[in-house]
């Protein structure tokens, strides 16, 4: 079955890598990086490996307010000199260094111009999206906290392909998190594990989605 649609993640795919933005934030706020990584590894493991629910899970599916997530995370962190980390505005500071990856935007526009449908499927962290860039880029936009579901829950993938009016086998899904790719592929979607724009664009071209 030919691929007729591209469904893509946002952070880390259409933006510069998350770890780069986090490194800028940790340095700017003077946060103990080892402590941050220890806390986040535990939260991520619980959210993506079936080990329970963490604040990340609640933030992404909309059951935890961003301000409460900021409070919980700040309470777990310390500065390099042992001081407290301000909670207010923490998410904005964390993502401040995100930059758009123009080759990915260009590839999506080219795929859409060539006749493919496009959709955004993003797990939100309460951050601001550049929605002004989305109008001519996506046929549908699915933000986890707005629909009460999150990747890798299969329901959110079904929701996205349903909006497109296609079968999973007619869609390719791009994400930088392997758990999410595995979940999409389990439904029959093609998966592209994003590592850099050149490789992802080449994979889209192999699927005949780019001229």
Provide the H-helix boundaries in 30-139: 33-48, 55-61, 66-76, 90-95, 102-113
**pTM for the predicted model, two decimal places:** 0.95
* For residues 35-64, average pLDDT: 89
Phi/psi of residue 203, nearest 5 degrees = -65, -40
In angstroms, what is the C-alpha Rg of the chain? Answer: 18
pLDDT beyond 90 at 1: no
pLDDT beyond 90 at 46: no
Give pLDDT, residue 133.
87
Structure confidence at residue 50 as a pLDDT band (50, 70, 90): low
Give pLDDT, residue 135.
83
Structure confidence at residue 51 as a pLDDT band (50, 70, 90): low
Average pLDDT over the chain, rounded to an integer:
95
Hunting for tokens 């780069």 — which residue is that? 20
* For residues 20-25, average pLDDT: 97
The tokens describing 206, both together, are 């192999």
How far is Cα 22 from Cα 88, in angstroms, rounded to an integer?
Answer: 17
CB 92 within 8 A of CB 72: no
């Amino acid at each position: 079955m030919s691929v007729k649609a591209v469904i893509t993640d946002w952070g880390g795919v259409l933006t510069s890598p998350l770890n780069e933005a986090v490194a800028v934030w940790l340095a700017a706020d003077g946060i103990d990086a080892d402590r941050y990584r220890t806390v986040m590894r535990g939260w991520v493991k619980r959210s993506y490996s079936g080990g329970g629910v963490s604040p990340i899970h609640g933030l992404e599916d909309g059951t935890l307010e961003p301000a409460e997530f900021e409070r919980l995370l700040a309470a777990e962190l310390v500065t390099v000199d042992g001081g407290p980390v301000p909670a207010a505005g923490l998410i904005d500071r964390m993502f401040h260094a995100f930059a758009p990856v123009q080759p990915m935007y260009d590839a999506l526009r080219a795929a859409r111009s060539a006749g493919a449908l496009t959709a955004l499927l993003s797990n939100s962290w309460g951050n601001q999206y550049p929605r002004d860039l989305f109008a001519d880029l996506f046929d549908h936009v699915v933000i986890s906290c707005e629909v009460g579901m999150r990747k890798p829950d299969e329901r959110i993938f079904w929701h996205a392909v349903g909006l497109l009016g296609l079968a999973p086998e007619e869609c390719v899904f791009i994400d930088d998190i392997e758990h999410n790719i595995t979940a999409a592929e389990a439904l029959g979607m093609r998966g592209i594990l994003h590592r850099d724009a050149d490789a992802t664009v080449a994979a889209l071209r192999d699927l005949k989605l780019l001229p």
